[in-house]
Structure 1
Amino acid sequence: MNAWDQRFKTAEYVYGEQPNAFIEDYVHYLKDYPNVAAYAEGEGRNAVFLALQGHTVTAFDYAESGLEKTDQLAKKHNVTVNTKLTDLLQDELPVEMFDAAIMVFGHFPAEQQQEVFKRIVDSVKSGGRIMMEFYSIYQLPYDSGGPKQLDFLYDPLNVLKWCQPYKIIHFLTGEQVRNEGILHNGLAHTIQLIIEKS
């Protein structure tokens, strides 16, 4: 059992049952992209939200307990979410299979972040869209959630560089208020991106 598996073994949804505010505010960018992958999806709040918008959604996470809660949340809302137990650092991901992909606050060591980003982009078809929100390296002094190690935060300049080969629809870094369950609360420093694969 890993730390995330342990974290999600609660009746309560530690990040809440509502979608991430960035995904909710910008979901219209996925309107014509029916088949969506949700990576590092945790307890399923974003995947269920997308399913409620009519998308076919596959949630990937490496916490079995998180995927179980995704199933429960989907049932509660009368939608279906496909779940796949996947370690994004180790396991093979599909290639050019999805119309779009999202990842919200996927925490990975700095030296592996770009590889995970690339594999997620690779899983999306040409012309597809990718939406992500991360905690930036400037999040450390904030007391609103996210990793307490600099190595698990994202450098906005690096992320911008990874986006360069693609069409950048939206790129923002700065302060955001995040109220998501008991673990993300208050003012935070994040990076948001929406890119389109050519």
Structure 2
Amino acid sequence: MDKWDERFSEGEYPTDPDPSPVLQAYVDTFPEGRALDVAAGTGRNALFLAAEGYDVDALDQSWAGLDIIEERADETNVSERVETILADATEYDFPEETYDVITISFFRTLDQLGNIKAALKPGGVLFYQHHLQSSPPATVGPSTNRYRFQSNELLRSCLDLTILYYEESTEEREGRTSATATIVARNTHGGTQSYPQRHWE
């Protein structure tokens, strides 16, 4: 059994995790249409986007995680808007200019990021959040820095897009420290851009 199948099957990860507050705050500024959630896990982003009216492809290598997504989609009456894809995101052949929104949460995939960005339609938006290296070391997420972003690494990887939001931050969760980098970027180019008004704190 794949390690993620085992973790999801044994309940090591919550089956109804909340989406990022940043994603929740910015979703109303995103273009409507079709979305892709990369390394969807148990549906943190996929089900939220489906509830917001998107047709969502939820991609993950774990059948157990995808089963949870399908069950939760049925329970929340969004199953008609959620399609699960059993595939390894590190090897998947992403279709070009297909998605209006792409989300990635807590999955390091810089080797595939160019192909993921190419899957955005013109004007499409990428949301990406992942664990960050920090000092003192964060205690939530990967046990080593190998699978964490360095400071500004995610930002530099998205400079070919229009950056709408970027933040590196730490947060205390039940006595443990989480360090994350979060970006919202749009597939547009040029020196003059429109930007959504920030309306959250």
Fold shared, TM-score > 0.5 on shorter chain: yes
Residue 57 of structure 1 aligns with which residue?
56
Q: Give the counterpart of 2:179 among 174, 184, 189.
A: 189
Amino acid at match of 1:191: A
2:56 partner SS: strand
Name the structure 1 match of 2:121. 125
Sequence identity, in percent? 24
Partner of 2:5: 5
Structure 2, unpaired ranges of 5+: 189-201
C-alpha displacement of 1:162: 1.1
Q: Count residues in correspondence.
A: 185
Deviates more, 1:88-97 or 1:38-47: 88-97
1:161 aligns with 2:152: no
Contact residue 15 and residue 68 of structure 2 kept, 8 A = no
Q: Higher helix share goes to which structure?
A: 1
The equivalent of 1:83 in structure 2 is 84
Q: CA RMSD in A?
A: 2.0
TM-score of the two chains, using structure 1 as the length reference: 0.85
User: Residues 49, 13 of structure 1: CA spacing in aligned structure 2 closer, same or farther, 3 A cutoff?
Assistant: farther
Give, as a single letter, the amino acid of the residue that structure 2 aligns with 1:4.
W
Change in Cα spacing, 1:90 to 1:57, as seen in structure 2 (3 Å) is same
Equivalent residues in 2 for 1:138-153 (5 A)?
A: 138=134, 141-143=137-139, 145-153=140-148
Could you report, residue by residue, the CA deviation over 1:21-76 in whole angstroms, capped at 9, with x for unpaired residues? 2322332232x332110111101132111111111111000001000000001011
1:34-113 residue pairs with structure 2 within 5 A? 34-80=33-79, 81-106=82-107, 108=108, 113=109
Are the counterparts in 2 of residues 101 and 129 from structure 1 also a CA contact under 8 Å?
Answer: yes
Query: Greater relative contact order: 1 or 2 (C-alpha under 8 angstroms, separation 6 or more)?
Result: 1
Question: Structure 2 CA distance, aligned partners of 1:139 and 1:119?
Answer: 32
- Which of structures 1 and 2 has the bigger CA Rg? 2
Give the gaps of 5 or more residues in structure 1: 180-184
Compared with structure 1, are the counterparts of its residues 121 and 77 closer, same or farther at alpha carbon in structure 2 (3 Å cutoff)?
same
Letter of the structure 2 residue corresponding to residue 102 of structure 1: T
